Amino acid sequence: MDFMGPARYKWRVPKTGQSEINGATRICAVYGFPVAHSASPAMHNAAFAALGLNWRYIACEVELKRLAEAIEGAKVMNFVGLNLTVPHKLLALEMVDQLDPSALRWTAVNTIKFEKDLDGRVKAVGFNTDADAIATSLAEDLKVKLPGAKVLLLGAGGAGRTAALKLASEGVAELFLVNRTQSKADELAAEIQRQFPTVNVSTTYPAGAVDLLLNATSLGLKPEDPMPLDEAHFPLKHARAVYDMIYRPAETPLLKAAKKAKCKTANGLGMLLHQGAKAFEIWTGQPAPVKEMRVALEREIYKSLVPAKASRPKAKKKA
Ligand code: ATR
């Protein structure tokens, strides 16, 4: 998750790919609304370059009501595949020709691969690479062992739902779901209870310590946001590790406070990376160059931003 204000639109023109675009170049794209903030083009173009593929990845701003047309358009233009981001992941379930088990399992589509039938007709196959990326990033970045773990999950929106279901499927012992809108937490808890009866789910803050606190709310994206956690109910020192799905800014107030409380911390960059790596493998059938993809993401998200003050010329004092 990330937030970039309108300043992003005035940002420098990014470098084009490392080699020329020509008549044989194939296209992948991310569809979202908005989408100009996306770091996926940097990540995937670096991966294509690393493997010497004559492919390019672009970002397209697509309105929700035109998603079906945009998917058809990509088919017609022989695109390799698509990523879908907010707000398209749910609606796409009904717009693809076939759902991979991953999309059925997590009831959302974030990756589409276009495949040609024997008769030459192109079909869109929908996948979900988000859910697995959560578990991969938690293991890699925080060394969290999910089976048997106690987890406090903040947020029951799209990201919170996917995280809760994935954590339950990995065999967490206890799941505490806390959300501003209580009814959404209750609905999600009921769904988990139905699908994973061995997981102990509640919709309140835990009384004791947890192995992991996971923020899946959008609080922390904007500088003026309040903390997603009520420390009067749950002091951070009771969490062994804290993961914030937000990756821009790199350190949210929650992560800052968690570090101060001596928790292990990680932001959502690993999730973004691993959902992209899996999508890359679906499209290419080859292992993703994860190292290059991470470097490109970090450069795109953290290193190339011009500080707001430095980019503005100083106003001249009146004589
Ligand atoms: P995403 O797809 O990124 O998960 P979402 O489905 O809109 O986006 O979910 C946003 C999450 O952040 C929800 O859990 C939302 O809480 P509600 O379900 O009560 O809306 C949470 N959230 C957003 N703004 C919030 C705020 N100001 N205070 C508390 N929670 C907030």
* Residue 309 placed within a domain: no
What are 255's two structure tokens?
């992560």
Please give all residues whose beta carbon lies within 6 A of any atom in ligand 1, as ranges: 1, 86, 155-160, 179-181, 184, 217-219
242 DSSP β-pair partners: 213, 265
Do 138 and 241 belong to one domain? Answer: yes
Catalytic residue numbers read 89
Do 171 and 236 belong to one domain? Answer: yes
pLDDT at position 131 is 98
Total number of domains constituting the chain: 2
pLDDT at position 78 is 96
pLDDT at position 2 is 61
* Residue 308 placed within a domain: no
* Residue 313 placed within a domain: no
Q: 181 alpha carbon to ligand 1 midpoint, in Å?
A: 8
Nearest CA to ligand 1 atom 2: 158
Helix and strand element counts for the chain (H, E): 10, 12
Do 66 and 168 belong to one domain? Answer: no
Mutate to test the pocket of ligand 1, among 180, 182, 247 (most ligand atoms within 8 A of CB): 180
Q: 203 alpha carbon to ligand 1 midpoint, in Å?
A: 15
pLDDT at position 303 is 81
* Residue 51 placed within a domain: yes
Please identify, among 245, 267, 289, the residue that sits at the C-terminal boundary of a domain: 267
Do 157 and 257 belong to one domain? Answer: yes
CB 32 within 8 A of CB 85: yes
* Residue 17 placed within a domain: yes
Rounded to whole angstroms, the Cα distance separating 166 from 116 reads 31
Do 167 and 60 belong to one domain? Answer: no
Q: 155 alpha carbon to ligand 1 midpoint, in Å?
A: 6
CB 296 within 8 A of CB 45: yes
Nearest CA to ligand 1 atom 13: 157
Rounded to whole angstroms, the Cα distance separating 175 from 212 reads 10
Do 169 and 243 belong to one domain? Answer: yes
Q: CB-based contacts of 9: which residues, under 8 Å, 6+ apart?
A: 36
- Which run of H or E residues covers position 295? helix 290-298
pLDDT at position 308 is 43
Do 196 and 253 belong to one domain? Answer: yes
256-264: long-range contacts, CB 8 A cutoff, minimum separation 24: 257/227, 257/231, 258/213, 260/236, 261/235, 261/236, 261/237, 262/237, 263/213, 263/236, 263/237, 263/239, 264/142, 264/143, 264/240
- Kindly give the parts of the chain with pLDDT less than 70: 1-19, 304-319
* Residue 312 placed within a domain: no
The atom number, within ligand 1, closest to the CA of 1 reads 3
Nearest CA to ligand 1 atom 28: 180
Residues shown for the chain: 319
Burial of 155 (0-12, 13-18, 19+ CB in 10 A): buried
* Residue 159 placed within a domain: yes
CATH of the domain at 95: 3.40.50.10860
Whole-Å CA distances, 128 to 61, 67, 222, 230, 274: 20, 17, 27, 32, 12
Nearest CA to ligand 1 atom 29: 180
Do 160 and 119 belong to one domain? Answer: no
pLDDT at position 42 is 97
Q: 228 alpha carbon to ligand 1 midpoint, in Å?
A: 10
Do 286 and 254 belong to one domain? Answer: no
The atom number, within ligand 1, closest to the CA of 180 reads 19
pLDDT at position 20 is 81
Rounded to whole angstroms, the Cα distance separating 160 from 293 reads 25
Q: CB-based contacts of 255: which residues, under 8 Å, 6+ apart?
A: 242, 244, 265, 267
Do 116 and 12 belong to one domain? Answer: yes
The atom number, within ligand 1, closest to the CA of 154 reads 14
The atom number, within ligand 1, closest to the CA of 161 reads 4
Do 66 and 37 belong to one domain? Answer: yes
What is the residue range of 75's domain? 6-128+271-303
Mutate to test the pocket of ligand 1, among 183, 203, 218, 224 (most ligand atoms within 8 A of CB): 218
CATH of the domain at 197: 3.40.50.720
